[in-house]
């Protein structure tokens, strides 16, 4: 009943907009017939208001997925490219932190694994704010960096990769059921920063989901209990994302589309040399302001992706 009430409210918003547009059209027609110019300012204001309200409703369509209004679990992983890839993963990690900060979203760092010589091997964060998952879901995939390598004595051009995962947070325990028999939990000493307590005691937690082979590690907290809680939250979100991918594949199959729901698709290029450009390969949206993008100015890319999905999701 609650869902029905929500849907009725959304339908009424569109019908209300339709009535306003019809009334405005009738008023325009009437004023033209009578040659009355006195209502021009009123009509202009109403048309501007209609256009603004239509834009808001159209954007709501882009964020109308079943999990779009939830918090997001985002993970960045080093890909091919050695130290450059680890550094690139760190750059992306900072980029998403800055994006969340600009939106006043709250961020909790669940796990960070430092790179062997530079950057990070992986990092997992929870981002909480209105429609966090809806905005971030289009960031999932492989990201590619081209630049002069700071790790090469000759400053040679280097291509490196990083993978981004984005998962909706599980809100209801009934959505994802994880049987105790399906998981193996290991504890070990943290290899990251955290002080003597972390180093001397086995506070880090690794959870392996046996049926899927998913492995989640958390070592950012001093408490083994907190690390276990964070690891289980990430595992549940990964399992929910698997279900989302399965549903997308089934929908594409029924529509007769070729569809690849894997995380390995290259979605965006970041070119810092010999020219500057960030380009999304799915929407063709691009900008030469690479500094702004890496500082968290991602909204234009996210909006372009969301707009491209409205037609394909119908």
- CATH number of 162's domain: 3.30.70.1660
Does 13 share its domain with 46? yes
Residues 221 and 82 occupy one common structural domain = no
> Is the model more confident about 111 or about 37?
111
Confidence (pTM): 0.76
The reply to whether 21 and 41 lie within a common domain is yes
Burial of 60 by CB count in 10 Å (0-12 exposed, 13-18 middle, 19+ buried)? middle
Under the banding of pLDDT at 50, 70 and 90, the label for residue 251 is low
**299 pLDDT more than 90:** yes
Q: Is residue 234 part of a domain?
A: yes
Q: Work out the pLDDT band at 261, boundaries 50, 70, 90.
A: very low
Rounded to 5°, the CA angle 197-201-203 comes to 95
* Domain-embedded: residue 101: yes
Do the domain assignments include residue 252?
A: no
Of residues 244, 279, 219, 104, the one with CA closest to residue 168 = 244
Question: Rounded to whole angstroms, what are the CA distances from 19 to 10, 24, 26, 55, 285?
Answer: 15, 9, 11, 16, 35
pLDDT at res. 192: 54
**pLDDT beyond 80 at 47:** yes
What average pLDDT does this structure show over 21-30? Answer: 88
Residue 58's pLDDT is what?
A: 79
Average confidence (pLDDT) over 104-114: 94
Q: What is the CATH number of the domain that holds 222?
A: 3.30.160.20
The pLDDT of residue 154 is 77
Cβ atoms 305, 283 nearer than 8 A: yes
21, part of any domain: yes
Q: What is the pLDDT of residue 34?
A: 76
User: CA Rg, the chain, in Å?
Assistant: 24
Domain membership flag for residue 257: no
Domain limits for position 23: 2-62
Residue 18 is encoded by which pair of tokens? 């339709």
Number of domains in the chain: 3
- For residues 165 and 269, membership in a common domain is answered with yes
Task: Kindly report the backbone phi and psi dihedral angles of residue 105, in degrees, each rounded to the nearest multiple of 5, phi listed first.
Answer: -80, 150
Do 161 and 212 have their domain in common?
Answer: no
Please report the pLDDT score of residue 255 as a whole number.
53
- Residue 263: predicted pLDDT: 46
pLDDT band at 127 (very low <50, low <70, confident <90, very high): very high
User: Is 20 inside any structural domain?
Assistant: yes
Lowest mean pLDDT of 66-80, 136-150, 190-204, name the range: 190-204
- The rounded Cα 309 to chain-centroid distance in angstroms is 14
pLDDT at residue 19, as a whole number = 93
Residue 196 has pLDDT above 60, yes or no: no
Residue 185 has pLDDT above 90, yes or no: yes
Residue 156 has what pLDDT? Answer: 84
At residue 152 the predicted structure's pLDDT band, cuts being 50, 70 and 90, is: confident
Residue pair 12/5 in contact by the 8 Å Cβ criterion: no
Q: How far apart are the first and last CA of the chain?
A: 24
- Residue 128 in contact with residue 71, Cβ under 8 Å? yes
């Amino acid at each position: 009943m609650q869902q029905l009430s929500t849907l009725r409210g959304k339908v009424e918003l569109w019908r209300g907009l339709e009535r306003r547009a019809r009334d405005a059209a009738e008023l325009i027609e009437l004023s033209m017939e009578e040659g009355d110019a006195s209502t021009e300012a009123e009509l202009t204001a109403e048309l501007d208001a209609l256009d603004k309200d239509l834009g808001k409703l159209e954007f709501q369509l882009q964020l109308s997925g079943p999990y779009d209004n939830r918090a997001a679990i985002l993970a960045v992983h080093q890909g091919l490219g050695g130290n450059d890839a680890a550094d690139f993963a760190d750059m992306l990690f900072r980029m998403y932190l800055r994006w969340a900060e600009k939106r006043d979203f709250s961020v909790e760092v669940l796990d960070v694994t430092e790179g062997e010589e530079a950057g990070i091997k992986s990092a997992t964060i929870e981002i909480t704010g209105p429609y966090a998952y809806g905005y971030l879901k289009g960031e999932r995939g492989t990201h590619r960096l081209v630049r002069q390598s700071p790790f090469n004595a000759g400053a040679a051009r280097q291509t490196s990769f990083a993978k981004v995962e984005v998962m909706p947070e599980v809100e209801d325990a009934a959505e994802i059921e994880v049987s105790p028999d399906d998981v193996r939990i290991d504890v070990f000493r943290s290899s990251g920063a955290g002080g003597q307590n972390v180093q001397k005691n086995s506070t880090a937690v690794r959870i392996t989901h046996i049926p899927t082979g998913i492995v989640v590690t958390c070592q950012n907290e001093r408490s083994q209990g907190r690390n276990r809680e964070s690891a289980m939250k990430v595992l549940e979100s990964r399992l929910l994302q698997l279900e989302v991918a399965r549903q997308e594949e089934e929908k594409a199959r029924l529509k007769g589309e070729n569809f690849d729901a894997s995380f390995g698709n290259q979605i965006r290029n970041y070119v810092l040399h010999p020219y500057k450009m960030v380009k999304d390969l799915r929407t063709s949206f691009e900008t030469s302001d690479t500094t702004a993008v890496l500082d968290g100015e991602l909204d234009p890319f996210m909006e372009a992706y969301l707009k491209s999905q409205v037609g394909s999701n119908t």
